[in-house]
Amino acid sequence: MTTLNRPGAPDGHACGIDTAMEVIGGKWKVLLLWALHEHPCRRFGELRRLLPGITEKVLASHLREMEADGVVRRVSYDEVPPRVEYSLTEDGTRLNDALRPLAAWGRARPAVRRSG
């Protein structure tokens, strides 16, 4: 999205929305957020199995971006075979909470056609 030049928006929320949208903008990021909320401290392979359909490449890049965004914490143990554990940061948990109303809206909405 790059910088959104929200038009009028005096104290508007659009300015915050774009930040959030950048963070959750990836195809699997909300799922990842949710998975890490449900299962704290998950390993790469476990996450892959939790999100059937995601590829290693995308999982790795999403995790990396979310780590850079400060919503995911990555802990690497120097063992062999390698072990890496991912968990939500406090900010990530707050983000997850902030998504609740949106999820509720999605669930509560009237029957939508448009799916075809």
Partner DNA sequence: GTGGGTGGTTACCCTGAGGTGAGCGAGCAC
Partner DNA sequence: GTGCTCGCTCACCTCAGGGTAACCACCCAC
- Residues in contact with DNA by the rule CB under 7 A: 25-28, 43-46, 53-58, 60-64, 74, 76, 80-84
Stretch that binds its own copies, among 1-9, 55-63, 75-83 (CB under 8 A): 1-9
* Shortest distance in whole angstroms from residue 87 CB to DNA: 12
Tokens for 83?
Answer: 């072990």
**What's the CA gap between 66 and 36, in Å, rounded?**
12
In the window 73-112, what residues touch its own copies (CB under 8 A)?
91, 94-95, 97-110, 112
7 binds, among its own copies, DNA, none (CB under 5 to 8 A by kind): its own copies
In the complex with DNA, which residue's Cβ is closer, 62 or 96? Answer: 62
Per-position DSSP letters for the chain, written without gaps between them = ------SS-SS-SHHHHHHHHHHH-STTHHHHHHHHHHSSSEEHHHHHHHSTT--HHHHHHHHHHHHHTTSEEEEEE--SS-EEEEEE-HHHHHHHHHTHHHHHHHHHSPP-----
Stretch that binds its own copies, among 44-52, 55-63, 74-82 (CB under 8 A): 44-52
26 binds, among DNA, its own copies, none (CB under 5 to 8 A by kind): DNA
